[in-house]
Every structure is written in structure tokens, then in C-alpha cells.
Structure 1
Amino acid sequence: MKIAVIFFTDKGEKIAIKIKKAMENAVIFKGKTDIKDIFDGFQGIVFISAAGIAVRLIAPYIKSKTEDPAVVVIDDIGRFSISLLSGHLGGANELALKISKLINAEAIITTASDGRGIEAPDIFAKRCGFLIEDMEALKKLTSIMVNCGAIAFKSEMKKMINYSNIVKENYDGALYVTSKERVEEEKPYCILRPKNLVVGVGCKRGKPMEEILSLITQIFNDNNLSMKSIGAICSMDVKKNEKGIIDLCSQLKCDFKTFSMEEIKAVEDKFDKSDFVAAKVGVSSVCEPAAYLGSGKIIVKKTAQKGITIAVGRREELWQSFM
């Protein structure tokens, strides 16, 4: 985390220097510097000042809890380390605690779930690397948990949220961890997306990203899968410089992994073979072996359309069925 440390007094400067020495990614600023640039360019901001000064300076630039940096306030004699903004997703709570230990201050954490010893869904998502589908839905579920309501926890991953009132029936809300696009649920619910799906891609040279993405979207819609759960695109290493696939990975914000001919050949007998593909690239199939090697299990077999082949795999090491 890149941290801006802003001080206004001589005593504040001493605290800033102490933080800088302990945190290699910390940058010190004096006085009313360009807060907009700092707000946009740093993941964390530490004000050594009155809380009111910090509030007034950052107020014009606050966007949302998914975008704002962590903001922590320390009084200039170092009594308190206060998590002010983006306590959960931004990491301000964690930063406030870290600084409190560093300067021997009292950490002030005001988020409701932390005060009750509850792991909020957004903290659980951050810990596990899950994406939050809907922030408003998350707020409703968090409110249920803060008020000690019963929730159902329906997950296809083996990681568990730290909450004591989890039940299977007669619940007030539900937390889903799933790569399924749609769930059937009558109670308030929130979906977290694991990045556990792998898409195997084979294509003719020069296929644009839009065509590949269109076919993947169609396949995911037909199989009730979420595009947000794509963790990687996999192919053969002859495609490592294929612009359409590289652009696709950038669009989907996922990894791109390729496998050698030898790795593909080792598993190709598990899948349908194509003499045409064998003549072109030296192996009889690309998308299914690539998806299998990247995941461990094929869940959607090969679909071919206009010189593009797509298969979908699921990473099995932490998967469990709840449906």
C-alpha cells in the first residue's frame, strides 16, 4: 500500500518521520498540499491533524467505499489512531491498528461489525479475493448481521465467514459465494464471486477480442455462469502473443496462461480430436486441454463458432457443491 503521510505541526512531523521509517511505501507531505492528487494517487492517507481538518480536505473527492483510499487520522501528540474512511475494503481499520502499535497509540475503530467481533461480508470478500456483486445488497446483509440476524451461508468454496449465527432454515438473509450468475432466493441476499473459472480458448490468428468475448458471453449465459468469476484465460503457447486474447484478458481483468505442446499432448486424449487442428498447430485440441490444465475439471465442453473454440473449466482444489 502506497501511503501519504500529511502533517501540519512540528510534533506532527516527528510522528510522520517515525511512520516513514517503518513503512517503506510512505511519502511525507507538509501542510495543505494537493489533496486531489494524493487522493487519486495513494492507497492510504494518514493525516496527523485534527479530524475536522482531514474531513474538510477530503470531502470534495470522496466517491464510494469501493474506490476511496484508506484514510487514518492521528492527533499530533500521538494519542489516537483513528480509522476515518474506507475501514474495510480500503484497509483503514488495518492501517489504523498497524500505526497504533508503531507509535503506541490507541486505535479507534468505529465500524459496527468490528465492534461486535463480526467478520463483515466485505472483509470476508477481501480476505478471500472474492468480488462483491452488489454493494447495496451487501449493505442489507451486513445490517442483518450487525443486528445478530440469522443468515444462510451458501458457498461453492471451502473458506468460511466468521459469523456465529449461520443456519440452514428460517434465516433472515443469505450470503452466496458462487460462480453461478443467477440464484433462486426469496430472502435478502448478497453474492460474492470467486475467481474460480478458467476459459480455454483456441482461435484462428487475428481474431478480434470482440468476437471471442461474444462467444464466451453466449456460453456463460447459456450455462448460468458469471463472467465475473473468470480467473484466467488459457491457451496454447503459440497464442501467447495473440492480440485478441491479450485484449480479452485486459477487458476481463484476468490472467492469461499458456501451455506448451508437450503439456497439451499429455492430456489431449481425454478430449475430442480434430485432424484440422492437429495439422495447423501440432495438437488435436486446444481449448479443452488448456481449460483442463488451468483448472482440473471441464464443466462446459467445447463450443466452436467462426474459427473460435471455447471450453470452460473450474478450479477444483477448494470447490464444494451447495446447490
Structure 2
Amino acid sequence: MKLACFSFTEKGYKIGEAISKLSNENNYEIHHYPSSKIPEGVNNLLKRIWSEYEGFIFISAVGIAVRMINPFIKHKTIDPAVIVIDDLGKYSISLLSGHLGGANEIAQWIGEKLGAMPIITTASDNRGIDSIDMFAKRNNYFIENMNSTTKLTSMMVNGKKIGLYTEDGEIIKYDNLVLVQSLENVNLNIDGLIIVSSKLNISAIEVPYIVLRPKNINIGIGCRKGIEANMIINAIKSALNEIEISLESIKAIGTVEVKKDEAGIIEAAKYFNCSLKIFTIDEIKNIENNFAQSQFVKNTIGVYSVAEPSAYLLGGKLIKHKSIYNGITIAVSRSIHN
């Protein structure tokens, strides 16, 4: 994580130097910018590097930091972490993006290193419960309706009864939690609902709810040589739409080693921001008898099937057997939590 540190006084400079020497600890890369050594001025430098850093540390009064960052603040999902340390090194304050940006964690870490008191004002942390955005971040869930996080987290802060339906098995840290086994006819006496699911078209829920998309969907692909990326991308979209599965839940794409250099498959993995796993002929041969077989595929590449074995080897249970879209074979599996 790349952090920029600004200091404004002689004492602040010493603290900034001490912090910069912690670079490479805890995966932090820290650059110190003393205000006296910035010819263009802090405001101009901040404007230039705002998008380059994931976090900013101000060794200053809180008011100075607030005025300087104000022009650049956009939304909690993209704002960097901002931490303020007084120039006596007494307090380490999480000012902005405490959860998703990681400011709470950084403030606590710096506090431990400097012997300063971490100041964390987010209500959920102070009550020892998970905020929904941190729960999502920790488990790599995509938050589908981000605007609902504040409302649901507020309910948790106020001790309301919250339901949790999950395909993933991870449980949010909250005492007044009710596990929901099905989204059909949710009739429990709950005030809100957290849904961790790859399913689209969730039936009407009468209480406030939020949808978190787990990365649990695997795509097996077989295709003819030289197929274009847009055709593969559209084939995957069609396959998942048919079974009402969110694209945000794609975890991995898999295929056979003969196809490892197919530009279309490689670009599709980049498009969906997922991993690409290449299986050997032997790996597929070991399980190919469990799936539908094609003599043409066998004669062409040496195995009877690619899409279904690849989806299976990526983990989980097949939820869509092979379907063909303009010469592209797609199969889908869902990972099962332990």
C-alpha cells in the first residue's frame, strides 16, 4: 500500500522521517514530503499525486488536513485512507475511509509504532462489530447496492435484529444475528437482511437489505482456435444470464493447456478481472469419463471434453453443463464453502 506523508513543523518533520523509515513494514511503501521541501507547495503536489497514492498521512492539525483534502474527496468506495497525527505524536487519527480505504488499520499500526493513541470514531469498530463494508472487503465480496451499507450498519450499531443468508459460509461478527436458510418467503422477525449470493433476480424482500456478491463462480471454456475475445465474453455473459448468476461472482476461468495461448480466453479473464487456470491433458483425462464426450474434440486435442472438466477442476459443483455459443463451449460450477 503506497502512502504519502506530509509534515509542516520541525517536530512533525522528525515524526515524518520516523514513519518513512517504517516503509516496507506491513506491506506499506511510505514517502515523506516535508512542506518546506516542496517548491510547488503542498496543495499543488497533493493535487498532482492524489490518484497515485492509496493513503495520506498528515502530521498536522485535523483542520489543516480537512481543508487540504476537501477538493479531492469523491466517494467512500474510491477515496484513499487519510490519517492525521499531531506533531507531538500523541494521537493517530483515522480521518477518512476508515473501512474500505484502510485508515482505521493504518492509524492503529502507526499508533503502535509511535506510541501514539489511535483514534477510531467509526461506530461499528467502537462496538466491536463488523461493518458491512469491512466484512465485504475481508471476504472479497462485491457490494452491489453500496448505498444500503450505511443503513444496515446503522441498524447493527443500534442493536437491531439482522438476518444473514449466505452461500459462502462466512459469518459477520454481530451478536443479534439470525441465519436465514432460504430467500423464499423470508418471514423471520428481522429488521434487515444481508444477502451473500451470486443469484440474480432476488425475490422481493420486505425489509432493508444489501446484496454482497461472493467470488464463487467458475467458468470452463473450450473453443476453436483464434476465437475473438468479445465472442468469449458474450458467451460467458449469455451462459450466466441463462442461469441468473451475477457476473460479479466470477472467480476463475479454466481451460486445457492446448488453449493456454488463446488471446481471446486471456482477454476474457482480464475483462472479468478473474484468474485463469490452465489444466494439463492428463488432469482432464483423469476425470473426463464423468462428463459428456465428443470424439471430434478427442481427435482434435486429445481429450473428449474441455469445458465441463475445467469447470469441475476449478472447484465446486456444476450448475450449468456445457452449452455451445457460436463455437464456444461454456460450463459453470459454483465453489462450495468448507
How big is each residue's C-alpha offset from its partner over 1:262-310, in whole Å with a ceiling of 9 and x where there is no partner?
1111111110000111111111100000111111321110001221000
Aligned mate of 1:267, from 287, 292, 311: 287
1:278 counterpart residue number: 298
Superposed, 1:78-93 pairs within 5 Å as: 78-93=89-104
User: Contact 1:200/1:290 (CA < 8 Å) preserved in 2?
Assistant: yes
Deviates more, 1:211-220 or 1:69-78: 211-220
Aligned mate of 1:173, from 176, 188, 192: 192
1:211 counterpart residue number: 231
2:256 counterpart residue number: 236
How big is each residue's C-alpha offset from its partner over 1:144-184, in whole Å with a ceiling of 9 and x where there is no partner?
11221111011111211000111252101100111112222
User: Contact 1:296/1:313 (CA < 8 Å) preserved in 2?
Assistant: yes
C-alpha distance in structure 1 between counterparts of 2:212 and 2:100, whole Å:
14
C-alpha distance in structure 2 between counterparts of 1:38 and 1:45, whole Å:
10
1:132 aligns to 2:136 (yes or no): no
C-alpha distance in structure 1 between counterparts of 2:130 and 2:2, whole Å:
25
The normalised TM-score by structure 2 is 0.91
Aligned mate of 2:315, from 292, 295, 303: 295
How big is each residue's C-alpha offset from its partner over 1:65-86, in whole Å with a ceiling of 9 and x where there is no partner?
1111110000111111110110
User: Contact 2:221/2:331 (CA < 8 Å) preserved in 1?
Assistant: yes
Superposed, 1:1-323 pairs within 5 Å as: 1-24=1-24, 25-31=29-35, 32-33=41-42, 34-167=45-178, 169-184=188-203, 185-318=205-338
The CA deviation at 1:37 is 3.1
The CA deviation at 1:38 is 2.8
C-alpha distance in structure 2 between counterparts of 1:66 and 1:241, whole Å:
35
C-alpha distance in structure 1 between counterparts of 2:48 and 2:99, whole Å:
22
C-alpha distance in structure 2 between counterparts of 1:23 and 1:92, whole Å:
16
Structure 2 alignment gaps of length 5 or more: 36-40, 181-187
- Structure 2 vs 1, CA of residues 164 and 259 (structure 1 numbering), >3 Å: closer, same or farther? same
Q: What do you get for the CA RMSD once the two structures are aligned? A: 1.2
The normalised TM-score by structure 1 is 0.95
- How many residue pairs were aligned? 318
The CA deviation at 1:240 is 1.5
User: Contact 1:197/1:295 (CA < 8 Å) preserved in 2?
Assistant: no
1:321 counterpart residue number: none
Structure 1 alignment gaps of length 5 or more: 319-323
How big is each residue's C-alpha offset from its partner over 1:87-112, in whole Å with a ceiling of 9 and x where there is no partner?
00000001001111111111111112
The CA deviation at 1:141 is 1.2
